[in-house]
Structure 1
Amino acid sequence: MAYEFQVTVDCAEPHVLADWWAEALGWEVEAQDEGFIRSMIEQGHATEAETTRHGGKLVWATGAAIRHPGGLERAPRLLFQQVPEAKTVKNRVHLDLRAGDDRDAVVQRLLGNGATYLHDGRQGPHTWVTLADPEGNELCVS
């Protein structure tokens, strides 16, 4: 049996990081239903403290997601989940962006948007650039 999945990234500021990754990948931030959130508060299933405002909208404070513009059939959803602790060691899982002939331009765009250069990598004829997103999560661009 094959399972569907999403990739979850622990972070301090899920909405800010979701915006950054949506821009980095050319994906879309999932809209959150403000009416549904208010309804959950009114029914006592949630509190105002569990929400925040981002981009002028009421959203759940602890999570934001992005998805490929072609939908979940095209690629798994990325969920950014708030955690209290900061990242302290290298990721055990990271995303590899395949930019092909545009690699250097993509690297420069990501650096301009707040990524940090970590190092160049090589395995045989294959090369890549390892960066970190604004919260220090590694990604490679090849």
Structure 2
Amino acid sequence: MAHTFQVTVDCTDPHPLADWWAEALGWRREPSDEAFIRRMVAEGHASGSDTTTHRGELVWAEGAAIVHPDGTMPRMLFQRVPEAKTVKNRVHLDLRVAPADVEAEVARLVAAGATELHRASQGPHRWVTLADPEGNELCVS
């Protein structure tokens, strides 16, 4: 049986974090359906407090999604939760680049707001563990 899935990231501020990850991965934000949002509010299925404006666009306040440019990868959803991250992630993304590009990719992500946490290796495999602007771990290898 075929299954599809999305990767969901809990966060305190979904729209800026979705922007950060879209830039990090070279993906794009999923477009907002402003007409649908306005209709849901007008019909009483949602309230104005369920929405916000991000970069001039009416969006749902509780979440933002990014998608691969050609739609071949699972969607990533960033959803608002009330608490900040406090412990190590049980699941994280590994961003794989050519071995010669690891240092440049780490530098790019750190310049964009990531924090380098540590470097590790196992046999011939090497990776750098970073944290995104809200502290979620990711590895570059």
Query: Paired residue for 1:110?
Result: 109
Q: Deviations over 1:83-118 (max 9, x none)?
A: 001100000000000011211111000000000000
Query: Paired residue for 1:26?
Result: 26
Find the aligned partners of 1:26 and 1:84 in 2 and give their Cα distance: 28
Find the aligned partners of 1:121 and 1:27 in 2 and give their Cα distance: 27
Runs of 4+ in 1 over 3 A off after TM superposition: none
Matches within 5 A, 1:1-142: 1-71=1-71, 74-100=72-98, 101-142=100-141
- TM-score (norm: length of structure 1): 0.97
Equivalent position amino acid for 2:54 in 1:
H
Percent pairwise identity: 69
Find the aligned partners of 1:15 and 1:94 in 2 and give their Cα distance: 19
Aligned residues: 140
- TM-score (norm: length of structure 2): 0.98
Q: Secondary structure at the match of 1:106?
A: helix
| CA displacement at 1:44 relative to structure 2 | 0.4
Find the aligned partners of 2:120 and 2:35 in 1 and give their Cα distance: 47
Equivalent position amino acid for 2:118 in 1:
H
Equivalent position amino acid for 2:80 in 1:
Q
